[in-house]
A and B are shown apart, each in its own frame.
Chain A
Amino acid sequence: SQQGEEDPQALSIQEGENATMNCSYKTSINNLQWYRQNSGRGLVHLILIRSNEREKHSGRLRVTLDTSKKSSSLLITASRAADTASYFCATYLKTSYDKVIFGPGTSLSVIP
């Protein structure tokens, strides 16, 4: 079963608005990562937040992590049409070997 679950599955906003996507996961993690995928392309890494961190920023991106609720959120501020893409969270599980497990993703449409 998948470790991460994004919410909502799809989101449509106007250019200039903020977009918030959420990710919930099931077990303890070492870190949580967010990726972007433009249609038909490979995924691009956006940001990583470790289990001992609560918030990180990168440009217009803000990520929070609440390990007590096993959830994370990705906020994109002042969205642009170019932000239209699918966004995935991925969790890193430190077990006997190292796995990175992805959720099903949120499809974001930014309307000009």
Chain B
Amino acid sequence: NAGVTQTPKFQVLKTGQSMTLQCAQDMNHEYMSWYRQDPGMGLRLIHYSVGAGITDQGEVPNGYNVSRSTTEDFPLRLLSAAPSQTSVYFCASSYHPDRADGYTFGSGTRLTVV
């Protein structure tokens, strides 16, 4: 099925642990982004990429790293998890932000840091 696949769907981490949230798309999209969603805050942009090898920071990049070695994959790394990073994380991709079909979103990863 074509789309954006995020793994895992749920994760519990202890403070200080590191982990990688996986995101893969099979639509040959150049643009990929990571957002976090917190109650009442909508979606906030963490990092984004405009193509393989090119990434940039969004609104809330601290505590997260990304890399884009292939067009298909855009993993998000939490370096040292903190309770403030408890959130739902969404990965999204598109051919271009100005195309009429917009972003395609994954189903999300619900992360709890204890």
Q: Which chain B residue shows the least CB distance to A45?
A: B102
A51 to chain B, nearest CB (A): 10
Contact of A11 with B by CB under 8 A: no
Q: Cβ of A42 and Cβ of B100 under 8 Å apart?
A: no
A1-59: which have CB < 8 Å to B?
1-2, 30-31, 33, 35, 40-45, 48, 50
For chain B, the bracket of interface size reads 20 to 34
Q: Cβ of B103 and Cβ of A43 under 8 Å apart?
A: yes
Q: Cβ of B48 and Cβ of A97 under 8 Å apart?
A: yes
For chain A, the bracket of interface size reads 20 to 34
Q: Cβ of A100 and Cβ of B33 under 8 Å apart?
A: yes
List the B side residues contacting A35 at CB < 8 Å.
Answer: 102-103, 105
Q: Cβ of B107 and Cβ of A41 under 8 Å apart?
A: yes
Q: Mark B4-36, 1 if CB is under 8 A from A, else 0.
A: 100000000000000000000000000101010
List the A side residues contacting B108 at CB < 8 Å.
Answer: 40-42
Contact of B90 with A by CB under 8 A: yes
Q: Cβ of B42 and Cβ of A45 under 8 Å apart?
A: no
Q: Cβ of A102 and Cβ of B35 under 8 Å apart?
A: yes
Among candidates B40, B45, B105, residue contacting A42 with C-beta atoms closer than 8 Å: B105
B42 to chain A, nearest CB (A): 4
List the A side residues contacting B59 at CB < 8 Å.
Answer: 1-2, 101
7 more A-B residue pairs beyond the given contacts A31-B98, A98-B97, A105-B42, with a C-beta to C-beta distance below 8 A = A2-B44, A33-B102, A42-B106, A43-B92, A88-B42, A99-B48, A104-B42
State the A residues within 8 Å of B (CB).
1-2, 30-31, 33, 35, 40-45, 48, 50, 88, 90, 92, 97-105
